[in-house]
Structure 1
Amino acid sequence: MFPCTTVTHVCSPKLCNLTITDIPAYAKVLNVVAPKLENLTASISTCGGWCSVDFLQLSTKGFSSLEKVNLSKSNENDREDRNFPRLLDLFKKLSSAKFLTLDMDIIQTLSSNLDRLSREPGPFQNLKSVKINTSRLQHTDPIPTIPPQVRDYFLENSPNATFIIASPQGPRKRPRQLAHENTMSKKVAKLEERC
């Protein structure tokens, strides 16, 4: 067994794309040295395991080339009060990102302490868009409301960035008028055939 203080290293000067899905239970800190990293996709919660590691702690000097970051939380049972400061720390390390995609669980964690969040300086200087992924929601669920403090945190230093909430996809019904017109046109065509 490895102690919980174990650091896992990812070191590659040429690495452009990194996907982090399964963090070993013994890895408390993931140290990434990739100065040319452009795209990062990560599930920031781990399985917990015997040493109760439940949140990715990224150790890096920063990613100056970072374009796209896609973050999700894989463990819904994570304690938001403990993960809130860790999430803020992670955002500081990813502050050069231009396109940020987050799931609703991350927004929920940020919303758990709106007073503190409103006092935190927004770390993102180059954001062009923030997309909130709601794919876990059912298409019948209401579109969630994002607190203004959360929007302000992301857009404070990138006021021209767009804030997008991606609604869950579901089967779409045809508009009533269009359905009626299609049915009538088919009936007319059949009548003309008979004549």
Structure 2
Amino acid sequence: MLLQLRTARYLTLNADILECISSFPDLLSRHSSPFSNLVCLTIDSGKGDFTKKRNMSTEARNFLLDNSPSATLIMDDEPWN
């Protein structure tokens, strides 16, 4: 599914999708990021989920952002670079 979005410049993913992606670190480390044009990646934790701590694995972060090194990552309304 993410390969279909490879030309996206602005992408918002649900935190549940991020959690799912993060649960396969071995698979992610074998594949390069499909995103080479990202300006901003936003992780939307959804209404009511702000109290639940969400984690992004290093492999998931690399998979999503490695080909867009200048992209801004926003999680829980706070930018991460």
When normalised by structure 2's length, the TM-score is 0.84
Does 108-117 or 123-132 show the bigger shift? 108-117
Cα distance in 2 for partners of 1:113, 1:124 equals: 18
Partner of 1:131: 42
Match of 1:164 among 43, 51, 74: 74
Distance 1:107 1:138, change over 3 A: closer
Measured against aligned partners, the alpha-carbon deviations of 1:38-96 in whole angstroms (never above 9, x if no partner) come to xxxxxxxxxxxxxxxxxxxxxxxxxxxxxxxxxxxxxxxxxxxxxxxxxxxx1111100
Measured against aligned partners, the alpha-carbon deviations of 1:99-122 in whole angstroms (never above 9, x if no partner) come to 000111101210121111111110
Count of residues in correspondence between the two structures:
77
Aligned letter for 1:146?
M
Partner of 2:12: 101
If asked which structure has higher relative contact order (CA below 8 Å, sep 6+), I would say: 2
Question: Which protein shows a greater Rg?
Answer: 1
> Between the two proteins, what is the percent identity of the paired residues?
34
Cα distance in 2 for partners of 1:92, 1:138 equals: 27
Measured against aligned partners, the alpha-carbon deviations of 1:157-185 in whole angstroms (never above 9, x if no partner) come to 10000111025xxxxxxxxxxxxxxxxxx
Alignment of structure 1 residues 6-85 onto 2, 5 Å: none
Cα distance in 2 for partners of 1:138, 1:150 equals: 20
CA-atom RMSD in angstroms:
1.5
Alpha-carbon offset, residue 143 of structure 1:
3.5
Cα distance in 2 for partners of 1:133, 1:159 equals: 21
TM superposition outliers: structure 1 runs of 4+ over 4 Å: none
Distance 1:135 1:121, change over 3 A: same
